[in-house]
A and B are shown apart, each in its own frame.
Chain A
Amino acid sequence: MSPRRVAVTGIGVVSAFGDDFGEFWTGVASGTSAIRAMTLVPPGSLRFPNAAEAAQFDPARYFEAKQIDYLDRFAQFAIVAAREALRCSCLKIGGALASRMAIVTGSSAGGQATKDEGFRSLYAMNGRVSPLTIPRVMGNAGASAISSEFGITGPVYTVSTACSSANHAIGQAFWMVRHGIVDAAMAGGSEAPFSLGFLKSWEALRVVSPDTCRPFSHDRHGLILGEGAGMLVLEPLEAARARGAQIWGEIAGFGMSSDAHHLTQPLSSGAAQAMRSALADAGAPPEAIGYINAHGTGTPSNDATECEALRAVFGPHAQKLLISSTKSMHGHALGAAGALEAAATLAALRGGLIPPTANFTAPDPACDLDVVPNHSRCAEVEWALSNSFAFGGLNAVLAFRSPAAG
């Protein structure tokens, strides 16, 4: 079978902006930051008070009481986003498609709050741990629950590569659809990192900003944690067109690399290699790319390294790229980051509106590129890349193409 073009026909998002994709894109497109004072952990317990929590998320709106007991927040997010993506796609899963559809999800931490609660009970309370701890904590809990809910019986699994998890997941699903291993896929990521034990671990790493996330700014102080889920429905473009599906855009390429370097320090050559690999996989010359949804965490190290990688890959064309970090608005959702950013990138290509890098103050000479500061910009762009670079040096880059492309 010759490789097939792959369309995105459904998008679902849970984020700090709300429980659906519409609210997410409205917020991101308008350059509004959803970073607020944290509510899920006791005030004053951390050196960083702010985060992009999905504080509005009420599981009782979506699940029976007993089902809530059996699913950690990260899995609940995954299911709610998957429901929206599937509804949006109007794809009917039944008959032969059920076994020809894949689910690939990303999560860095899995059921972190459940683990925290279980071990607190063990060490500090009555010495017992709930039997639901293991099934709630496991990284594939979201993927398995989506599979059960929709009767999807094809390849279902979860990828955990820290902050690159969702991009690795979407990339693998994309390749499976492209090469005819499956005929549809649900792919994305979900994360719910707001438990005190996990947040204290982030605090100890000294990479979280004490105020807000200012990617590429001279005075950036670190990342801001976020949470949520993003899910995409992928189908062969021809099949999607044949059934008259709404097409958000194409996933056209995927590239991965490893820095083989350091646990936390990024290396620009690794990031560059992943971007080049995604371009080659998409068959797109660097000059075709108009927009980069950057990894852009807002740490001093990431943003400078990412810009160095962009200059290495794109040469003089780097100055023409529109580059933004939407993490400045929805926070760094770790294993869900790539999925939220895929949603933003697809909406940007389809709508001709590039979301900005919010909270920008003053340029940093090390990040001397067009980072679309603070205000979104109208631009018809055919091709975009979305970068994810993980601790441990694992890089995953997706190439997207506008639905207007023939």
Chain B
Amino acid sequence: MSRPELAARIMAVIASNQKIPVESVTLDKTFAELKMDSLDGINLLFALENEFGIDIPDNAAEHIQSVHEMVDGIEKLLAEKAAQQGS
């Protein structure tokens, strides 16, 4: 999956999970700008774990504040998962 494809999928999950228009979710937005509170953030992590079949550890999640940071983080977790499956 290319990075733009991954980003689009993540943004679609954010929109559906937070019940907001997909156009309002862009890479530069912070979660605060999307009016998400801490519980919303935890709920989103759960949706992303389900979407990609990954576990997002607490320490990986706690510093993520924007959509593009989320894409970076998930890209890394997917790469780790692929490496583990390949090894």
- The residues of A with any CB-CB pair to B shorter than 8 Å are 64-66, 69-70, 126, 128, 130-132, 135
Of B2-10, B39-47, B65-73, B74-82, the segment with at least 4 beta carbons within 8 Å of chain A is B39-47
B63 contacts partner chain A, Cβ-Cβ < 8 Å: no
B contact residues around A135 at 8 Å (CB): 39
State the Cβ distance, B43 to closest chain A Cβ, in Å: 6
Contact B50 A131 (CB under 8 A): no
Given contacts A131-B39, A135-B39, contact A69 B46 (CB under 8 A): no
Which 10 A-B residue pairings sit nearest by Cβ, starting from the closest?
A: A65-B19, A66-B19, A131-B42, A131-B46, A131-B43, A130-B46, A132-B43, A66-B18, A128-B50, A128-B49
State the Cβ distance, A220 to closest chain B Cβ, in Å: 46
Count of chain B residues near A, Cβ 8 A: 9
State the Cβ distance, B29 to closest chain A Cβ, in Å: 17
List 4 additional contacts besides A65-B19, A131-B45, A131-B46; criterion CB under 8 Å: A69-B19, A128-B46, A132-B43, A135-B39
State the Cβ distance, A362 to closest chain B Cβ, in Å: 54
State the Cβ distance, B19 to closest chain A Cβ, in Å: 4
State the Cβ distance, A34 to closest chain B Cβ, in Å: 32
Least CB separation from B46: chain A residue: A131
B contact residues around A130 at 8 Å (CB): 43, 46
State the Cβ distance, A137 to closest chain B Cβ, in Å: 14
A contact residues around B18 at 8 Å (CB): 66
Q: How far, in angstroms, from A126 to B55 measured CA to CA in the complex?
A: 12
- The residues of B with any CB-CB pair to A shorter than 8 Å are 18-19, 39, 42-43, 45-46, 49-50
Least CB separation from B18: chain A residue: A66
Main secondary structure, interface of A, reads loop
Q: List 22 A-B contacts (CB under 8 A).
A: A64-B19, A65-B19, A66-B18, A66-B19, A69-B19, A69-B43, A70-B39, A126-B50, A128-B46, A128-B49, A128-B50, A130-B43, A130-B46, A131-B39, A131-B42, A131-B43, A131-B45, A131-B46, A132-B39, A132-B43, A132-B46, A135-B39
Q: How far, in angstroms, from A375 to B45 measured CA to CA in the complex?
A: 56
Q: How far, in angstroms, from A130 to B48 measured CA to CA in the complex?
A: 11
Q: How far, in angstroms, from A131 to B47 measured CA to CA in the complex?
A: 10
Least CB separation from B53: chain A residue: A126
B contact residues around A64 at 8 Å (CB): 19
State the Cβ distance, A335 to closest chain B Cβ, in Å: 25
B contact residues around A69 at 8 Å (CB): 19, 43
A contact residues around B49 at 8 Å (CB): 128
Least CB separation from B42: chain A residue: A131
State the Cβ distance, B9 to closest chain A Cβ, in Å: 18
Least CB separation from A70: chain B residue: B39
Q: How far, in angstroms, from A132 to B45 measured CA to CA in the complex?
A: 11
Q: How far, in angstroms, from A70 to B42 measured CA to CA in the complex?
A: 12
A contact residues around B42 at 8 Å (CB): 131
A contact residues around B43 at 8 Å (CB): 69, 130-132
B contact residues around A131 at 8 Å (CB): 39, 42-43, 45-46
B contact residues around A65 at 8 Å (CB): 19
State the Cβ distance, A152 to closest chain B Cβ, in Å: 21
A contact residues around B39 at 8 Å (CB): 70, 131-132, 135
Q: How far, in angstroms, from A70 to B44 measured CA to CA in the complex?
A: 13
Least CB separation from A133: chain B residue: B46
A contact residues around B19 at 8 Å (CB): 64-66, 69
State the Cβ distance, A178 to closest chain B Cβ, in Å: 37
State the Cβ distance, A201 to closest chain B Cβ, in Å: 27
State the Cβ distance, B54 to closest chain A Cβ, in Å: 11
Q: How far, in angstroms, from A131 to B42 measured CA to CA in the complex?
A: 7
Least CB separation from A129: chain B residue: B46
Q: How far, in angstroms, from A64 to B18 measured CA to CA in the complex?
A: 11
Q: How far, in angstroms, from A295 to B18 measured CA to CA in the complex?
A: 43
B contact residues around A132 at 8 Å (CB): 39, 43, 46
Q: How far, in angstroms, from A70 to B17 measured CA to CA in the complex?
A: 11
Least CB separation from B40: chain A residue: A66
Q: How far, in angstroms, from A65 to B19 measured CA to CA in the complex?
A: 6
Q: How far, in angstroms, from A66 to B16 measured CA to CA in the complex?
A: 10
State the Cβ distance, B48 to closest chain A Cβ, in Å: 11
A contact residues around B45 at 8 Å (CB): 131
Least CB separation from A68: chain B residue: B19
State the Cβ distance, B20 to closest chain A Cβ, in Å: 8
Least CB separation from A130: chain B residue: B46
